[in-house]
Chain A
Amino acid sequence: MAYVPTWRRYLRFWRPDVQADIDDELRFHFEAREADLRARGLPPDVIARTIAEEFGDVEATRRTLREIGERMERRRERLRWWHELRADVGYALRGLRRQPTFAVAVLLTLAVGIGATAAMLTAARAALIGLVPFADPDRLVAVWEGQRRDRAARAAASYPDFLDWRAGGGAFAALEGYDETNVTLTGADDPVRLQGARVTPGFLAMLGVRPVLGRGLSPGDDAAGGAPVAVVSHEFWRRRLGGDPAALGRVITLDGRAFTVVGVLPPEFRFVPAGEVEVWLPLDGAAARARERSDRWLRVVGRLRDGVSAARASAELAAVMGRLAVQFPESNAGQTAHVVPLREEVVGPTRPLLLTLGGAVALLFLVACTNVAGLFLARALARGRELAIRVALGAGRGRIVRQLLAESVLVAVVGGAAGVALAWGGVAWLAAAAPPHVTDRLPFLRGLSVDATVLGVAMGVALASGLAFGIAPALHAAGHSFAGLGRREADDGARGSGGRVRRVLIVAQIAFATMLLVGTGLMTRSVVALLRVDPGFATEGVVTMRLALAGPRYDPPAAQQRFFETLVARVGALPGVRDAGAVSQVPLSGGGSSTFRVDGEPEPDRAAYAMRRGVAGDYLRAIGIRVVEGRALEPRDDGAAPPVVVMSEGLARRLFGRGGAVGRRVRFDASPETAWTVVGVATDVRATSLDVPATSTVYVSHLQAPENRMTVVARAAGDPAGLLAGMRGAVRALDPSLPVYQVGTMAERVASTPAVYVRRYLLLLLGGFALVATVLAVVGLYGVMAYQVARRTRELGIRAALGASRRAIVTLVLRQAAALGAAGIAAGLGAAAVLARGLTSLLYGVRPTDILTYIAAAALLAAVTLLAGLIPARRAAHVNPTDALRAD
């Protein structure tokens, strides 16, 4: 038998020693057998042989026993682990059931915190990935024409410039262009207006899209005289072609012309900058406007060569533009080009929003975590005595730490699960509640769902937070000793490290809540300021309806003019209509601008530009724009009369000063041969967005410059919604094949404009977060104060007995609450002043350091803080000295 050192036996105290047990057992066997045989008087050599023969292969047996033993040991270990886990969880559950308020408070807090975080992560992920779903998206760039003098100016490119960029740009692996367009689909049911795009042949290939059926567009497709072809979106194919796999080769009628479907794009393909495009058509490079260098309408997107930065590409194109400026001063003087990463272009505008929401969610999550940590700590303090007794009775520290951790992790996991469920619902709500104009802009909202990654992160965060706020109380508890048993808990709670940590947590919570309140306040003031803005047009009682004249029938300009004249006259004759007119673009529907020069003025440094609006009927009066000088456009300003314009007030003042505009003449750069005489000046309109100052506008009669797409505008005497049926009827009576779209009231349009909607949305979310955070912070503070008062019952009683007035005791307690509140508010205001700068782009009419907002936030929190302190303070004041002295 091998020698076994004595110390190895002690290993068994640590854990069972399989090998030693086997050795011991066999040794006993051999010794006992030897003794038996010796008693029979056998000689030693016989004894040894007999024993060996009886036993068989000792080593093999030993090996087998060892295998069995280790297998059993592993199983026992597993069982013990499960058993202890079940015991810990059971203990945690019992503990939580004993204090349901605590359990519910913690679970709710965590669910809200984790739910909001998960929902936010989902939206942010969708936004960052979903907006640029292309192959190698970081090499894609948008290319704009700009002006040397105005770095912020961004415009589409003219087709000839685009061709020169292509020829002169070595920085690009591909450079393509697109033009958004609307087309009317006829031939099936009612005519429908579709979003379409005309693109250069390589456009889709550049993005890296592979059609699921057929082919993309190819260079031959734009050749003049070639059979017109179209590539359609998956949605179009599914809805309008019945998802027919044999749909290729089908002919569809767009704007009265036949197109052959040659390809279907994959369902997930989406080019956000162009909207929800249903039909992709080849761009006609030979069209009249494609020859005009001053006509800037082409949106250019490029793919950079590997290793080329956007800045280098920008410099390269700027050089090309410099040459063109010399070669074509008429159209290109002062022009340059900018190259911007496409992701920046698409995601950029939503970034402040995402950052703000992300920050708000992070704050809320921090409040939730500190709150839960505070609750756990309070519990651990309150249980100090119990834990000390358990330690005294022999519970291992490790085991106690494990039990407390089991409790916090259990709570965190359950809270996390509830949070994920909440996020699930919240995200679904977010996606469903977003109105169409928002999903058009942020199409990723449509398919929003909590994915596995977010789920994993949320649960990970829950677990980590569970461990984090479990560990401090657990370590605190493990520090209890016999000595702690004898000590009074009051000493622990009020002055111990646990109490200090708790106060720090409360201060942090109040600070976070303050920050959220400041954010909410700033956003509230922005929305209020925005809604107070006078947009320059009437929002009440105005209905609009857009239609586009398409098809060969309307090719002659006279047909277009006749149509709109008749329609406007008929709408004006409808009962309940006060004024009626039509305009090429109603306010808040966007639109580009035209450059022009003033006759008799020296060549300006920078061409003046204004949005040019074609109008029909009594548009200005219908939308509520007043004529302040001269006259409005009238029916007599037709093709036979001298060309005239009405100019917006701001522009007229800037160019000609007060009263100097009427009679002056301007020429648009696109058609410099015509001189337009200013006959009137009209009030300014915020035409692009409510938060953008009034845009320079020039109104032209459609009788002098025909329009094929106009929005009919009618001012109602009474309920505007009632007018719509009559207006639709008027269109149908004129031409039943025309689709009408963008039907609604101006009030709806204002409410749905991103400037208002985004802020209102943000306000709602921030307000919700701030409310929750404030409630949590106040409840936390209340908890701390109530706890302190309870612990200090004896001291307060003595004070009362010694003659302290109730008032003095209330003040004593309130002063503590006020100290915590003041520290938190001060820290919060300081942090808010720094962070609010990030909000700047989202604010309107209020500075990020708006003192009033800060004061209001501070006052509100101060008030609720004192309220939270008042209840425990009153309880303290009513402490009965004799009871207090008798208390523990």
Chain B
Amino acid sequence: MTDDERELDILLGTLDVLVLKTLSWGPSHGYGIARWIRESSGETFRILDGALYTALHRLEERGWVEAEWGHTEQGKRAKFYRLTPAGRRALREQTAQWERYAAGMAGVLSAAPRPT
């Protein structure tokens, strides 16, 4: 399932936005976030789970997410993360940034189209 040609290396700082976005729909545990990113990006991004957990904990330290131990539907004990108001604000800012960035990139790329 690892196909190097199709996967893109994650850009620095992008992971945070992805995590925050994932959490914006509701609390989730680390594995849930990993699975969601993997599925929703169509397995575009190659994200190491270790990096994901590191990012999560950094976000927690920064106060953008908070963690709480709870139980999954299967009754397993797991650590759930949720967005804090500060995290929600950060997500909004970073999303706007990303959109500007993407629009810029798209503009440049469409100005000099290259046949595929």
Chain A residues within CB distance 8 Å of chain B: 21, 24-26, 28-29, 31-33, 36, 50, 53-58, 60-61, 64-65, 68-69, 71-72
Contacts and interface: CB of A to CB of B under 8 A. Distances in A.
A52 to B, nearest CB: 10
A25 B78 contact: yes
Contact of A54 (B30, B49, B72, B78): B49
A69 B48 CA distance: 20
Interface in B51-69: 51, 53-54, 57-58, 60-61
B112 interface: no
Interface string B57-87: 1101100000000001000111100000000
Contacts of A56: 48-51
B44 to A, nearest CB: 15
Q: Secondary structure at chain B's binding surface: helix, strand, loop or mixed?
A: helix
Contacts of B29: 25, 28
A36 B2 CA distance: 17
Interface string B81-106: 00000000000000000000000000
B15 interface: no
A29 B54 contact: no
A25 B54 CA distance: 12
A700 to B, nearest CB: 97
B79 A55 contact: no
A55 B50 contact: yes
Given A28-B31, A28-B78, 10 more contacts: A24-B77, A25-B29, A25-B30, A28-B29, A32-B72, A56-B50, A57-B50, A61-B54, A68-B58, A68-B61
Nearest to A69: B57
Contact of A26 (B48, B51, B53): B53
A21 B31 CA distance: 15
Contact of A29 (B34, B57, B60, B61): B34
Interface string B1-24: 110000000000000000000000
A71 B57 CA distance: 11
A50 B2 CA distance: 9
Contacts of B61: 68, 71-72
A353 B11 CA distance: 81
A787 B54 CA distance: 63
Contacts of A32: 31, 72, 76, 78
B53 to A, nearest CB: 6
Contact of A28 (B54, B57, B79): B79
Nearest to B54: A64
A32 B53 CA distance: 15
**What class of interface size applies to chain B in its complex with A?**
20 to 34
Nearest to B51: A56
Contacts of B34: 29
Contacts of A69: 57
Contacts of B53: 25-26, 29, 61, 65
A471 to B, nearest CB: 39
B43 to A, nearest CB: 11
B76 to A, nearest CB: 6
A57 B54 CA distance: 12
Contacts of A58: 50
A71 B30 CA distance: 20
Nearest to B46: A54
A68 B53 CA distance: 11
Contacts of A55: 48-50
A417 to B, nearest CB: 36
A53 B48 CA distance: 8
Given A55-B49, A56-B48, A58-B50, A33 B31 contact: yes
Nearest to A29: B31
Given A29-B30, A55-B50, A58-B50, A68 B76 contact: no
Contacts of A65: 53-54, 57
Nearest to A57: B50
Nearest to B48: A56
A548 to B, nearest CB: 84
A68 B56 CA distance: 10
10 contacts: A21-B79, A24-B79, A25-B53, A25-B78, A28-B31, A28-B77, A29-B53, A54-B49, A60-B50, A61-B54
Nearest to B49: A55
A31 B30 CA distance: 12
Contacts of A57: 50
Nearest to B1: A50
A58 to B, nearest CB: 7
A33 B34 CA distance: 10
A51 B48 CA distance: 10
A70 to B, nearest CB: 11
B49 A29 contact: yes
A78 B57 CA distance: 19
Nearest to A28: B78
A53 B2 contact: yes
A250 to B, nearest CB: 73
A24 B48 CA distance: 19
Contact of B50 (A21, A25, A36, A61): A61
Nearest to B38: A54
A240 B90 CA distance: 74
Which of B34, B53, B76, B77 counts the most chain A CB atoms within 10 A?
B53
A227 to B, nearest CB: 82
A72 B79 contact: no
B60 A72 contact: yes
Contact of A68 (B1, B30, B51, B57): B57
B96 to A, nearest CB: 27
Nearest to A58: B50
Contacts of B77: 24, 28
B66 to A, nearest CB: 11
Contacts of B48: 54-56
